[in-house]
Chains A and B, each alone.
Chain A
Amino acid sequence: MSQASVLAEAKSSAEILLDTQDLTKVYQTGEVEVHALRGINLTVQIGELIVLLGASGSGKSTLLNIIGGLDTPTSGKVTFLDEDITNLSASALTRYRRAHVGFIFQFYNLVPSLTARENVALVTEISSNPIPPEDALSMVGLADRMHHFPAQLSGGEQQRVAVARAIAKRPNLLLCDEPTGALDSKTGVQVLEALKTVNEELGATTLIITHNVGIADMSDRVIRLSDGMIIEEKQMGRRRQPSELSW
């Protein structure tokens, strides 16, 4: 059986991980109102790998931050595993992030005073069923760099540590905001490989924001945002390996 049909089959019976309804976000900066999101309706299946495309300022980060519990919408509703997380308190959102969400940003945001292993352990210490930090680092191909401090690692390596740190707690949802934005193509590919491995091996639902149209080819679905709205949604037939991607 081909991979695509397995996925299609899985999807038809899959449960819904996350769902947004008429999500809007308005930023008030002085006199000016910025409508960052204008009614987003998005349903994410468990295990999906989704790529978010769109011009700068189209609202991708805003959407990801709201889904990840870093920000709250102006109106609309976010449901995660049948639970409404729209109006959770700050501490409930913290618990939500702690239990379910892994983040990866353009800038790696590692703790400079902790080694690679310790950066991962930071998260595994506060989660209930983590992957051992060593295994998480192996998964991103950094087993031999475990005891290096961030300052001793290259950008791509740092980002892979960030991936390991994000997935070590076995998140249900992995949110990546331009994870390769600061990397050259070769290291970017390594990071994407890592993300794909994680998505496949752990089944973590993954949303990736990118400017790189090529990355879309490795996803299940591509969603394009423009001016705070979803303007295009495309199911991808077959996922390509990251190394096959063109930059």
Chain B
Amino acid sequence: MVGFLRALDRKLLRDLWRLKGQGIAVGIIIACGVGIMIMALGSLASLEESRSTYYERYRFADVFADVKRAPNQIVGEIREIDGVKSAETRITRIVTLDLADFNEPANAQLVSLPDEGQPTLNNVMLHEGRWPDLARPEEAIVSRAFAQEHDYHSGDRIRAIFNGRTRDIEIVGIGDSPEYVWTLGIGGLLPDDKRFGVFWMRRQALERAFDLEGAFNNVTVSLLPNAVEADVISRLDNMLAPYGAVGAYNREDQFSNAFVESEMGQLVAMAAIIPPVFLVVSALLIHAILSRLIAVERQQIGLLKAFGFSNLEVAAHYVKLAVVLSLGGVLAGFVLGRTLARLLTHLYSNTMRFPEIVHVFEPSAFVIGAGAAIVAAVIGALNAALKAAALQPAEAMNPAPPTVYRRGGILPLWLTNKLDEPTRMIVRHITRWPIRAAMTTFGIAASMALLVGTLFAFDSTDEMIDTIYYRTDVYDAAVTFAEIEDETALSELDRVPGVLEVEPTRDVYVRFRNGVHSERGSITGIRSDAKYKRLLDRKETPVSVAESGLTMTSHLASLLNIGLGERLTVEFLEGKRPVLDIPITAVVEEYIGHAAYMNIEELGRVMGESRTITGAFLALDPDLSIEFNDAILDRPQVASVALRSAVIETFNETLEETITIMMMIYAVIGGAIAAGVVYNAARISLTERGRELASLRVLGFTHGEVSYVLLGEQAMLAIIAIPIGSLLGTAFAHLIVLGMSTDLYRVPYVLEPSTRGFAAAVVLVAVFLAAVLVANRIRNLDLIEVLKTRE
């Protein structure tokens, strides 16, 4: 095999073999960069593929609309709308569950199935069991995650509260649908499969239970390829307005789909932001390795040229070396990326209920990853290779002139004079090679920056949880009613055992319009002295909802391109459906969604309603929680109950695994950069200074003292790099905030000192490990051999 290679290529292989330690260091860094790119792009492709197959096979609808009650016949008119391919009406409803095995409030989303056969849109994928029998109204298919969480199987019975009446539901099948990939729990951000399930039942059973015979309260529509979605939505809105429509919406606003898209958007951001850091560092390392190699091989290069090799051949030889060096990293990156992608999709299965997450082989991810890594390697090699090409043969065959050191350098003389000799050697070496030192510092700083810039996300998550569940939404339980109620419902709630205090809330669907900007949303009416639902201004100080006018989240204001004091048009989609001009009287900050608030009395007044409520925030007596949980289910008006403690618990449980795994991944790959940079720099130093260090050993310096001369430099640079990296990390975190913030939520920038400390500790451990590896090589320095040779 070797026989077929040209001599120069054989030299290349030998060089690679000699450089294997450094090659591995660079390879690991390239592998991390390529791996993350492939993880992100590969997972993205997997999610996209899983999603599109699922949506297509199970005919996920394009447009969705809820109404109060509309007669079945109008479905014909809906199908007539230009661009509509098919339409299906349904009955949907949220109810509470009284689970024998679980004594906390739980809720179910009821969705009707046509009386015969399967839905034409949003079909159910049946994993187990059969479809419900029309003649047996108690039969239901339940969502798989909910069934798994409670270990329910076909034949099991569950009690639900339909309109205040207890109903026994019999599970006949376990299924899922594209509408509920992300089954958002009530009042939470994450799926809570213990407390929230989807139940599919025959339509007739639900018509009877909710007095909706001959009517529907939900319609979903699929569109023809050439349809104009916005037109269909506005036609639907007009058509359904008389029936209590609260605004049709598309997939973008469909909760489950929106969350899935938000995850996919974050993958794109990850692929775009993180891998470049690795590739830049790998280019720097390759530059350093080749520069050193060319210095060592100076005389060989002169000889090659004297033999008649062209400048181009010489340059190409070194570029080739860099490319071959990076190929190992690319291959390892492929493997790493595939593994990480599998890990990530496993984590996704915690929140996303696809029938399965298909692992697609995404060639473009591999091509982009390999391409980027090789380009980085070539760029890294270019400068050194050109220097090799530029060497004059006669000059090159003479040894390089000795390195000239200077006494002062950047440190003042009085300080240099205070140092012991080994430390002085370190300082002189750094100041003699400032660019190299700067590159090492930059590499370690990049590691720190990456760690800070990724680990901060956990502080942000903490901050979000802390703000939402400990500062703004501080109720113990949030209740929603099935229908719009008046204040008597409130006093009834007040009498439920365990309830200490009740605060009303009124949610009303609206469409906001400001010139060309329009958003479907809702206004939440709360009391100005609300204690359990609070608002925060820009400085995070609690503020109450304005007595008059709209209190708007800054996110909504920016979506509508409107500011404090300006007026906007609000089309109310409920009640008398007034269209009003309302001024914005306060702006508040929220991390999630795009809410708007009004004083609840003012809201009733402008809508021309008397004191209506759609839900309540409760303060509970912790000692009476069992009594509360029992009694709240019997309230006929209550559609859903969410306990704040449960939401927090879910958050922690769901994210615990994700956070632990991602922290570990980030720490390892972030540390890999620092380790690789230091290992590489120290190895280069060792080849240059082996003789110097050996002579120190001969003079009687111990292994530790000699290691200090070499590794103290790296330690010193690491110590300089950490604060720089910390600053860079802050900037990096801001970039990630931009990349990760979606329409659904805005990631706050929060960075705890402890996180910086952790990042610094990871960097120091990585530097230490790299130093230990090099220190072992120092131990093996052949003193006699070194001293025999001319310097």
A interface residues, Cβ below 8 angstroms from B = 61, 65, 70-71, 90-91, 94-95, 97-99, 101, 103, 105, 107, 109-115, 118-119, 121-123, 125-126, 147, 149-152, 165
- B700→A95 contact, CB < 8 A: yes
Query: For the complex, is B320 an interface residue (Cβ under 8 Å from A)?
Result: no
A109-B695, A112-B402, A149-B405 known; A94 vs B701 contact (CB < 8 Å) = yes
A123→B697 CA distance, assembly (Å): 11
Q: Find chain B residues with CB under 8 A from A126 CB.
A: 699-701, 705
List of A residues within 8 angstroms of B694 by Cβ? 109
A172, chain B: closest CB distance, angstroms: 13
Chain B positions near chain A (C-beta within 8 angstroms): 402-405, 407, 420-422, 424-425, 428-429, 432, 691-692, 694-703, 705, 783-784, 787-791
B432 CB, min distance to chain A CBs, angstroms: 7
Indicate which residue in B407, B699, B702 contacts A123 across the interface (CB closer than 8 Å).
Answer: B699
Interface centre among B429, B705, B787, by most chain A C-beta atoms within 10 angstroms, is B787
- A110 contacts which chain B residues (CB < 8 A)? 695
**14 additional A-B residue pairs with CB within 8 Å, beyond A103-B698, A109-B791, A152-B404:** A61-B788, A94-B702, A95-B700, A101-B700, A107-B790, A109-B698, A111-B695, A112-B692, A113-B405, A114-B405, A122-B421, A122-B422, A123-B699, A147-B407
B699 touches A113 (CB 8 A): no
A-B contact pairs, 24 of them (CB 8 A): A65-B784, A94-B700, A94-B701, A97-B699, A97-B700, A99-B700, A101-B700, A103-B698, A107-B789, A109-B692, A109-B694, A109-B791, A111-B695, A112-B403, A113-B429, A113-B432, A114-B424, A114-B425, A115-B407, A118-B424, A125-B421, A126-B705, A151-B402, A151-B403
Q: How far is the CB of A117 from chain B (nearest CB, A)?
A: 10
A95 to chain B: which residues have CB within 8 Å? 700
| Contact status of A111 and B787, CB under 8 A, knowing A98-B700, A123-B699, A151-B402 | no
Determine how close the nearest CB of chain A comes to the CB of B30; give it in whole angstroms: 33
**With a CB–CB cut-off of 8 A, which chain A residues contact B691?**
109
Task: A115 to B784: give the CA distance in the assembly, Å.
Answer: 24
Separation of A123 and B432 alpha carbons in the complex (Å): 23
Q: A94-B702, A126-B701, A151-B405 are in contact. Are A114 and B428 (CB under 8 A)?
A: yes
The answer to whether residues A91 and B703 also contact, given A70-B784, A112-B405, A115-B407 and a CB cut-off of 8 A, is yes
Are B702 and A91 in contact (CB-based, < 8 A)?
A: yes
Smallest Cβ-Cβ distance to A71: which chain B residue: B784
Question: Which chain B positions have C-beta within 8 A of A61?
Answer: 784, 788
Contacting pair B420 A125 (CB below 8 A): yes
Q: Are B402 and A111 in contact, with the CB atoms below 8 A?
A: no
6 closest Cβ contacts across the A-B interface? A98-B700, A109-B695, A113-B428, A97-B700, A151-B402, A122-B421
Q: Write the nearest CB–CB distance from A94 to chain B, whole angstroms.
A: 5
Known contacts A125-B421, A151-B403; is-contact A111 B700 (Cβ 8 Å): no
Inside 8 A of A122's CB, which chain B residues have their CB?
A: 421-422, 696, 699
Q: Shortest distance in angstroms between A145's beta carbon and chain B's nearest beta carbon?
A: 14
Q: Do the beta carbons of A151 and B700 come within 8 Å of each other?
A: no
CA distance A18 to B697 in the complex (A): 22
Give the distance to chain A from B692, nearest Cβ to Cβ, in Å. Answer: 5
CB within 8 Å: A-B pair count: 87
Taking CB as reference atom, which chain B residue is nearest A97? B700
Rounded to whole Å, the gap between the CB of B686 and the closest CB of chain A is 15
B699 to nearest A CB, angstroms? 6
B425 touches A113 (CB 8 A): yes
Q: Please report the C-alpha to C-alpha distance between residue A70 and residue B699 in the assembled complex, in whole angstroms.
A: 10
Contact B787 A109 (CB under 8 A): yes
Bound Cα distance from A98 to B405, whole angstroms: 27
How far is the CB of B504 from the nearest CB of chain A, in Å?
78
- Complex: A107 Cα to B695 Cα, angstroms: 11
B residues within 8 A CB of A147? 407
Contacting residues, chain A, for B405 (C-beta < 8 A):
112-114, 149, 151
User: B422 contacts which chain A residues (CB < 8 A)?
Assistant: 122
Q: Are B404 and A149 in contact (CB under 8 A)?
A: yes
Contacts of A150 in B (CB 8 A): 402
Tell me the complex Cα distance, A152–B403, Å.
10
Q: Which residues of A contact B702 (CB under 8 A)?
A: 91, 94, 98
Query: Hey, which chain B residues are within 8 Å of A114, CB to CB?
Result: 405, 421, 424-425, 428
Chain B CB count within 10 A is highest, among A97, A101, A112, for A112
Instruction: State how many angstroms separate the Cβ of B411 from the closest Cβ of chain A.
Output: 13
Q: Which residue of B lies closest to A95 (CB)?
A: B700
Q: A111-B425, A147-B407 are in contact. Are A98 and B696 (CB under 8 A)?
A: no
Contact among B404, B424, B692, B699 for A103, CB-based, below 8 A: B699
Residues of B near A97 (CB, < 8 A) are: 698-700
Q: Which of A65, A112, A118, A165 contacts B699 (CB 8 A)?
A: A165
Q: Given A91-B703, A107-B790, does the pair A121, B698 have CB atoms closer than 8 Å? A: no
List the B side residues contacting A149 at CB < 8 Å: 404-405
Chain A residue numbers with a CB within 8 Å of B705 are: 126
The interface residues of chain A lying within 8 Å CB-to-CB of B696 are: 111, 122
- Shortest A92–chain B CB gap in Å is 11
Q: Which residue of B lies closest to A108 (CB)?
A: B791
Question: Do residues B700 and A107 form an inter-chain contact, with CB atoms below 8 A?
Answer: no
Q: How far is the CA of A179 from the CA of B420 in the complex (A)?
A: 28
Complex CA gap A40/B698 in Å reads 23
B784 surroundings in chain A (CB, below 8 A)? 61, 65, 70-71
- From known contacts A111-B425, A115-B407, infer whether A94 and B787 are also in contact, taking CB-CB under 8 Å: no
What residue in chain B is nearest A124 (Cβ atoms)?
B421
Verify B692–A111 contact, CB threshold 8 A: yes
Contacts of B698 on A, CB cut-off 8 Å? 70, 97, 103, 109
What distance in Å separates the Cβ of A173 from its nearest Cβ neighbour in chain B? Answer: 12
Q: Which residues of B contact A165 (CB under 8 A)?
A: 699
B625 to chain A, nearest CB (A): 68
Instruction: State in angstroms the CA–CA spacing of A60 and B731 once bound together.
Output: 63
Question: B784 to chain A: closest CB distance in Å?
Answer: 6
CA distance A151 to B332 in the complex (A): 45
CB distance from A118 to the nearest CB of B (A): 5
Q: Which of A65, A109, A111, A122 has the largest count of B CB atoms less than 10 A from its CB?
A: A111
**Residues of B close to A70: CB separation below 8 A:** 698, 783-784
Q: What residue of chain A has the Cβ atom nearest to residue B783's Cβ?
A: A70
Residues of B within 8 A of A123 (CB): 699-700
- How far does the alpha carbon of A95 sit from the alpha carbon of B695 in the complex, in Å? 15
Q: How far is the CA of A91 from the CA of B424 in the complex (A)?
A: 25
The smallest beta-carbon distance between A132 and chain B, in angstroms, is 14
- Which chain A residues border B699 with CB–CB below 8 Å? 97-98, 103, 122-123, 126, 165
Which residue on chain A has the smallest CB distance to residue B697?
A94
A61 to B698, CA, bound (A): 14
Contacts of A152 in B (CB 8 A): 404
Q: With A and B bound together, what is the CA distance between A179 and B424 in angstroms?
A: 28
- Least distance between A15 CB and chain B CB atoms (Å): 23
Q: How far is the CA of A94 from the CA of B779 in the complex (A)?
A: 12
Closest Cβ–Cβ distance, residue A77 to chain B (whole Å): 21
A residues near B424, Cβ cutoff 8 Å: 113-114, 118
* Partner among B404, B425, B703 whose Cβ is within 8 Å of the Cβ of A94: B703
Bound complex: CA A176 to CA B694 (Å): 17
- A109 CA to B699 CA, complexed, in Å: 10
Nearest residue in B to A110 (C-beta to C-beta)? B695
CA distance A69 to B699 in the complex (A): 11
**Docked CA distance A126–B696 (Å):** 11
Which chain A positions have C-beta within 8 A of B703?
90-91, 94
B404, B421, B429, B691: residue with the most chain A Cβ atoms closer than 10 Å: B421
Cα A61 to Cα B783 in complex, Å, equals 13
Residue of A nearest to B417 (CB): A118
CB nearest to A182 among chain B residues: B790
Residue of B nearest to A100 (CB): B700
Which residues in A have their C-beta under 8 angstroms from that of B428? 113-114
Chain A residue contacts of B788, Cβ below 8 A: 61
Residues of B within 8 A of A115 (CB): 407
**CA of A104 to CA of B387 in the docked complex: distance in angstroms?**
37
Residues of B within 8 A of A111 (CB): 421, 425, 692, 695-696
Bound Cα distance A63, B791 (Å)? 23
